[in-house]
Amino acid sequence: MDAADDLFTREDPIFSNKELLEISHLPGEGRIVGRDDEIADLATAVNPAIFGQSPSNVLIYGKTGTGKSLCAKYVSKRLVSTASEEGVTATFAYVDCAQDTTETQAVQTIAEGVNDPDETGINVPDKGLSTSTYYKRLWRILDQRYDVVLILLDEIDKLDDDAILMQLSRAGEAGKITDCKLGVVGISNKIQYKDRMDERVKSSLCEREFVFPPYDANQLREIMQARADAFHDDVLEPSTIPRAAALAAREHGDARKAIDILRYAGEIAQANGEPTVREEFVTQARERAETDRFRELIRGSTPHSRYVLQALALLSLSNGRQDGFRTSRVYEIYENICRQEGSDSLSLRRVRDLLKEHAFLDIIEQSKHSGGSAEGSYTKHQLLEDPSVVKEVLTEDDAES
C-alpha cells in the first residue's frame, strides 16, 4: 500500500493552479491586460443586445495571441449576464472555424451550442443531415429560446466560403427568425480577409471593425505576472518572466506563445526536480514550444501530406539556405520518398494542393516567380520551421505508427 502511494506525488512542488496557464482559460475581471480600450469598443458595438435589440455585427482583426478571442468571449459573457438583469434572455455561441471549416459543420456547432433538447424537443445530430435541415433547426431553437444571440466565429478566414455569413447576417431580414435578434462577431488573423468577402456579406457583416495590435514586452510581462499565481510562492525566479516576455515580444507579441513558454519552463523545472523555475529553462521551453506547435500542426495529416513535407525538409537540409524550391523539384523528391515507402505517388496536381494546405497552416511559405521562355510562372516553397525539427518530428511519428 505504502509502495503504491510512493508512486504518485501528492503535492505539486511547482504549480499551485496550472489551469491558469491553459490556453482555454478565460481570465476573470482585472486579469485581461492592455485591452481596456478594445473591450470597451466591443461592448459599445454589442450594447443594444442587453435591451433585446440587434447588436452590431463586428469584425476583429489581429495577429495570433493578441487577445481577440479572449476579449470577444469576455464581452459576450458580460453581455449575457447584464442582459439577464434587464430581463432579456441572451446567449452566445462560439465556433472555431479552424475545426468547423464547412458551412454545415459550423451551423451544426451553433445549433448544438444554443440548444437544450429537453426544453425544445429538437435534436441536433453531429452529422447526417442536409445543411438546410440544420439551418431550420437552428432558427427554431433561436426563436423558441432566446431574445438575443451573439455568434462568435473565430478564425473566420478558415471557412470554405461565405455562405454561412450570408445566412446569419440576413436571417432577420429574410424572415428566418422572428423573435430572436442575431449578432455576428467575426475574428480573423488575416487583415486581407475582408478583400475576398462577397460584397453583400461585407456590407452587413462589417458594420464595425477593430484591429488588435500585438502586445509589447511590458504588456506581456504584465500578462504573465497576472497568471504567476499558477505557481507556488517563490518558485518563479525574478528574471524568468522578463526573459519569457522579451522572447515572446521578439516573436510578434504573441501572448499565447508567452504563456506556453512559461508553462513549459515550469514543466522542465518539475521534470528536473528543481525547486525553482530558472531563466535558463525559458530558452529550453521556447524550443519545446516550437516543436510542439509543429507536432500539433501535422497531427492527423495523411502519409502523403507528410512525404511532401519530408521532401521539402530533405531539400532544405541538403541545399542549405535558398529562397525556396520549385514545385517540380519538390515533386521529384516526393516521388523518391514514395518509392522508398513502397507507395504509389499522387498526381502533381494533388501535391500542389497539399503544398498549399501546408502554406495555409504557416508550415511553409510560398512565393510566386516568373521565369522566361519555356519557364512561365512558377511557385517556390520554403519551410518556415527548422528543417531538422521537421525531419525529427516526422521520423519520430513514423517510428510510432
Partner DNA sequence: GATCCACAGGAAGCATTGGTAA
Partner DNA sequence: TTACCAATGCTTCCTGTGGATC
Provide the annotated binding site for ATP. Answer: 66-70, 215, 227
Q: 284-303 mask for DNA (x: CB under 7 A)?
A: ------------------x-
Nearer to DNA, 56 or 101 (CB): 101
Among 173, 349, 399, 401, contact with DNA (rule: CB under 7 A): 349
> Contact at 8 Å (CB) between 277 and 261?
no
Among 238, 273, 342, 376, contact with DNA (rule: CB under 7 A): 376
Q: Is 342 in the site for DNA (CB under 7 A)?
A: no
Among 49, 80, 346, 393, contact with DNA (rule: CB under 7 A): 346
Among 12, 19, 22, 375, contact with DNA (rule: CB under 7 A): 375
The minimum distance between CB 41 and DNA, in angstroms, equals 33
Annotated binding site: 66-70, 215, 227
Q: Which of 306, 358, 348, 303 is nearest to 328 (CA)?
A: 348
Give the length of the chain: 401
**H-run or E-run covering 203:** helix 199-205
The minimum distance between CB 134 and DNA, in angstroms, equals 8
DSSP of 118-140, one letter per residue?
HHH-----SSSS-HHHHHHHHHH
**H-run or E-run covering 219:** helix 217-226
Q: How far apart are CA 183 and CA 45, in angstroms?
A: 10
Nearest 5°: CA angle at 162, between 159 and 165?
100
> Contact at 8 Å (CB) between 253 and 65?
yes
Which letter does DSSP use for residue 266 in this model? H
Q: How far apart are CA 122 and CA 100, in angstroms?
A: 21
Among 310, 316, 379, 382, contact with DNA (rule: CB under 7 A): 379
Nearer to DNA, 41 or 365 (CB): 365
Which letter does DSSP use for residue 23 in this model? T
Q: Which of 104, 95, 155, 154 is nearest to 126 (CA)?
A: 104
Q: Is 11 in the site for DNA (CB under 7 A)?
A: no
Q: Is 326 in the site for DNA (CB under 7 A)?
A: yes
Among 131, 270, 284, 291, contact with DNA (rule: CB under 7 A): 131
Q: 83-122 mask for DNA (x: CB under 7 A)?
A: ------------------xxxxx-----------------
* Count of residues touching DNA (by CB under 7 A): 39
Q: Is 260 in the site for DNA (CB under 7 A)?
A: no
Footprint on residues 40-79 left by DNA (CB under 7 A) = none
> Contact at 8 Å (CB) between 371 and 378?
yes
The minimum distance between CB 354 and DNA, in angstroms, equals 7
Footprint on residues 170-199 left by DNA (CB under 7 A) = none
Q: How far apart are CA 295 and CA 275, in angstroms?
A: 29
The residues that touch DNA, with contacts defined as CB under 7 A, are 101-105, 123, 125-132, 302, 304-305, 326-328, 346-347, 349-350, 352-354, 356, 368, 370-379
